Amino acid sequence: MRLLVTGAGGMLGSDVVRAGDQVTALSRAELDITDEGAVDHAVRAARPDAVVNCAAYTDVDGAEAETDAAMRVNAAGALNVAEAAASVDALVVYPSTDYVFDGSKRAPYVESDPVSPRSAYGRSKLEGELATATVDGHLIVRTAWLFGTGGRNFVEAMLAAASRGPVRVVCDQVGCPTYTRHLAAAILTLVEAKVTGIVHAAGAGECSWHDFARAIFERANVDAELSPCTTGEFPRPAPRPAYSVLRSERADVPALPRWERGLDEYLAERVVA
């Protein structure tokens, strides 16, 4: 299975590259997906069986002020990648987000639930989903709360914060922390099985950000002064869904390990690295 991975230098992209075999890995510096001609040339040169589009604008708060920039990458760029993949009969994979949901549900979101993003970032990713879905061979993988050794993440933010003093973390946002190595393996399984359409793939279980922080400190043996706060007490530019747990209603989607296992594996990996 020949893969082309865009955004290959990022957190998810680097793990997809590691999980693959015959991989053409293109970082943001090597391929700007908003450049239609460059994308078409790169895809035609690689002749992949699948293109995994990990290139993305991921600054959730920044997207509120830079909505056009987020749309250029997450939507227009996604269309460039999808159309280039289709031109060589390759499957295109678009990782998306739990932020396409508004968070008003109190049971896990499944693929058939209606979308209603609250943030500019969420809207840009939904537009990317719609753009990707304009070609026949597409796979949209919604996931959540990513952490991995290939980039900045919540685990490292918490460990750094604990070294500076008391830590306050919101307790009224609930979701699914997802280890990127587990997600990358699931994506490869889906690609090899030629699964198409929309799927949900996130760490099993659920927790709040506060629960996640507590687990990080406990498992990393860090003595931190941790206290909960509400979203209202910790305002951010972009609204977040209060509940965005993802589960799949599809029988052809592999279940990911629990988020606690992902955290343990991550902490072990970062020590080795």
Please give the positions annotated as active site.
121
Cα separation, 271 vs 273, in Å, equals 5
Closest Cα partner for 96 from 117, 69, 67, 72? Answer: 117
Whether 213 and 149 have beta carbons less than 8 Å apart is answered as: no
Cα separation, 37 vs 49, in Å, equals 20
Burial 82-118 (b: 16+ CB within 10 A, else e): bbbbbebebbbbbbbbbbbbbbebeebbebeeebebb
